[in-house]
Copies of this chain bind each other. A is one copy, B any other.
Amino acid sequence: MDYKKVDEKDVEYLRTLVDADRILVGDEISEDYSHDELGTVANYPEVLMRVLSTEEVSAIMKYAYEQNIPVVVRGSGTGLVGACVPIYGGIMLETTLMNNILELDTENLTVTVEPGVLLMELSKFVEENDLFYPPDPGEKSATIAGNISTNAGGMRAVKYGVTRDYVRGLTVVMPNGEVLELGGKIVKNSSGYSLKDLVIGSEGTLCVITKAVLKLLPLPKKTLSLLVPFDTFTEAAAVVPKIIKSKAIPTAIEFMERQTILFAEDFLGKKFPDTKSNAYILLTFDGNTKEQVEAEYEVVADLCLSEGAKDVYIVDTDERKDSVWSARGAFLEAIKASTTEMDECDVVVPRNRVAEFINYTHDLEKELNIRIPSFGHAGDGNLHLYICRDELGEKEWEEMLDTAMDKLYAKSLEFDGLVSGEHGIGYAKRKYLFNDYGEYEMGLMDGIKHAFDPKNILNPKKVCQM
């Protein structure tokens, strides 16, 4: 692409738009800003601007648009597919200083937030007000705008749906600096194409989110988890569609294999309640009364036992809750610590195909002689698989990774799955999206991108741009 390189005149102008301590140039920019959490692709921005307001973002975009300078937005950088990496340099807008919770509206059950509010800050705030923001991605230090940009799902999607279902309104800055309000506090909307829903999951390629109105629910008064061990993963996964069929609706159904739990024990130096079995499912239930929650989990516990569960542990003491949930929260880091380098596959399949898919990864481990530890969301079919480099040399690893990824994504298509459940496409997964959608559908997406961003200055070479 033929973008303008940032020169001294540009920097001089950009310095007039923000305070001196919120603009960094060239070598002043830390290495952290050149990659995301997984770091499979890296490049530095030429200028880093830590923005504070919609007005600042608008002024910067207007200038970048006029000058043809590429712009990438970054929140906490917790992504795994390189979506926030500035492939062509240019300006990086960093949003973590825009971290104010602006309004809690208890009559409309909405909270209005700036884009850089962290997920953990948001859930703490609303829960202190006896309210509930259901989306619950594992990475609690992600920003809310990052979550919106990938349509993050998290653990509670089984019962409550994904981020998309909780975004009522967005304030966005378009690539040319124009500010739009999409949606609002309103519950229903049939007023033209849903630009808001197009922006959700668009990974910072269509516009810059500078404010979000989120839907809240009353906080359920009771929650309880069950940890259920099985001899084999096949048995553990097979019970999930049966739970759904029984018409129980757990809040979450996670799966974990013994090896992943052992990594987490090592990583945290903390014991898990049980590690004797090969596979586990972790279920959560919520409701407003003890009776309601009990009625639901008893049906599910009985069902699990009749389907081969070795036991059912009720996770009710603080100690047990901590040991189970801290392990669950540490899986990604623990697997990362177990190897030299890794890449992730975030496929989503219909939930009655999870067992087949995970068994396929075990076959693939043997076939290719590699490790593919995994964990994920059995209840909604979203699996997180990690292909580990371990002791492979550079060239061997690259070939192996290619082969393994190709096979995993091909298998997900065979099961009517999709490339990404919640981590997005970014830079790293474009090839697999292309393999799934083909030229026509990728071109359609690029046509939409062109309608939003005719000069292609906002996060170019991402998602649908090959």
Q: List A residues at the B interface (Cβ < 8 Å).
A: 105-109, 130, 150-153, 157-158, 161-162, 164-165, 174, 178, 180, 183-195, 197-198, 200-202, 206, 217-218, 241-242, 244-245, 247, 249, 288-289, 291-292, 295, 346, 348-352, 377, 379-382, 416-425, 433, 436-437, 440-442, 444-445, 447-452, 463-464
Q: List residues of chain B with CB within 8 A of the CB of A153.
A: 187-188, 190
- Asked if A418 meets B184 with Cβ closer than 8 Å, knowing A198-B194, A201-B190, A463-B193, the reply is yes
CB-defined A-B contacts under 8 Å, sample of 28: A106-B244, A108-B352, A151-B190, A153-B187, A153-B190, A158-B187, A164-B197, A178-B440, A180-B440, A185-B350, A186-B348, A186-B417, A187-B380, A188-B421, A189-B348, A190-B346, A190-B422, A191-B418, A191-B419, A192-B201, A192-B437, A192-B445, A193-B198, A197-B197, A198-B198, A198-B448, A288-B292, A289-B295
Q: B463 and A192: CB pair below 8 A? A: yes
Selected from B107, B151, B194, B424, the residue in CB contact (under 8 A) with A245 is B107
Q: B217 and A464: CB pair below 8 A? A: no
- In the assembled complex, the Cα of A190 lies from the Cα of B200 at a distance in Å of 9
Q: A191 and B107: CB pair below 8 A? A: no
Q: List residues of chain B with CB within 8 A of the CB of A241.
A: 107-108
Most B Cβ at <10 Å: residue of A151, A153, A186, A380: A186
- A450 to chain B: closest CB distance in Å? 7
Q: A425 and B191: CB pair below 8 A? A: yes
Q: A190 and B381: CB pair below 8 A? A: no
Q: A447 and B451: CB pair below 8 A? A: yes
Selected from B178, B247, B419, the residue in CB contact (under 8 A) with A218 is B247
Q: A421 and B190: CB pair below 8 A? A: yes
- In the assembled complex, the Cα of A71 lies from the Cα of B218 at a distance in Å of 46
Most B Cβ at <10 Å: residue of A202, A444, A445: A444
Q: A165 and B162: CB pair below 8 A? A: no
- A286 to chain B: closest CB distance in Å? 14
- In the assembled complex, the Cα of A180 lies from the Cα of B380 at a distance in Å of 23
- In the assembled complex, the Cα of A420 lies from the Cα of B382 at a distance in Å of 35
Q: A193 and B464: CB pair below 8 A? A: yes
Q: B189 and A151: CB pair below 8 A? A: yes
Nearest CB in chain B to that of A151: its residue: B190
Most B Cβ at <10 Å: residue of A201, A379, A433: A201
- Asked if A188 meets B348 with Cβ closer than 8 Å, knowing A445-B193, A451-B447, A451-B450, the reply is yes
Nearest CB in chain B to that of A380: its residue: B187
Q: List residues of chain B with CB within 8 A of the CB of A161.
A: 165
- In the assembled complex, the Cα of A195 lies from the Cα of B443 at a distance in Å of 12
- A308 to chain B: closest CB distance in Å? 18
Selected from B162, B191, B436, the residue in CB contact (under 8 A) with A191 is B436
Q: B349 and A186: CB pair below 8 A? A: yes
Q: A188 and B202: CB pair below 8 A? A: no
Q: A184 and B463: CB pair below 8 A? A: no
- In the assembled complex, the Cα of A416 lies from the Cα of B181 at a distance in Å of 10
Q: List residues of chain B with CB within 8 A of the CB of A380.
A: 186-188
Q: List residues of chain B with CB within 8 A of the CB of A183.
A: 418
Q: A194 and B197: CB pair below 8 A? A: yes
Q: B351 and A107: CB pair below 8 A? A: yes
Q: B418 and A189: CB pair below 8 A? A: yes
Nearest CB in chain B to that of A417: its residue: B186
- A234 to chain B: closest CB distance in Å? 15
- Asked if A187 meets B292 with Cβ closer than 8 Å, knowing A201-B194, A444-B452, the reply is no
Q: A191 and B420: CB pair below 8 A? A: yes
Q: List residues of chain B with CB within 8 A of the CB of A442.
A: 192
Q: List residues of chain B with CB within 8 A of the CB of A441.
A: 180, 195
Q: A448 and B451: CB pair below 8 A? A: yes
Selected from B180, B187, B217, B422, the residue in CB contact (under 8 A) with A188 is B422
Q: A444 and B451: CB pair below 8 A? A: yes
Q: A195 and B106: CB pair below 8 A? A: no
- In the assembled complex, the Cα of A241 lies from the Cα of B192 at a distance in Å of 27
Q: B186 and A381: CB pair below 8 A? A: yes
- A166 to chain B: closest CB distance in Å? 10
Q: A108 and B191: CB pair below 8 A? A: no
Q: List residues of chain B with CB within 8 A of the CB of A351.
A: 107-108, 187
- In the assembled complex, the Cα of A463 lies from the Cα of B191 at a distance in Å of 8
- In the assembled complex, the Cα of A206 lies from the Cα of B193 at a distance in Å of 10
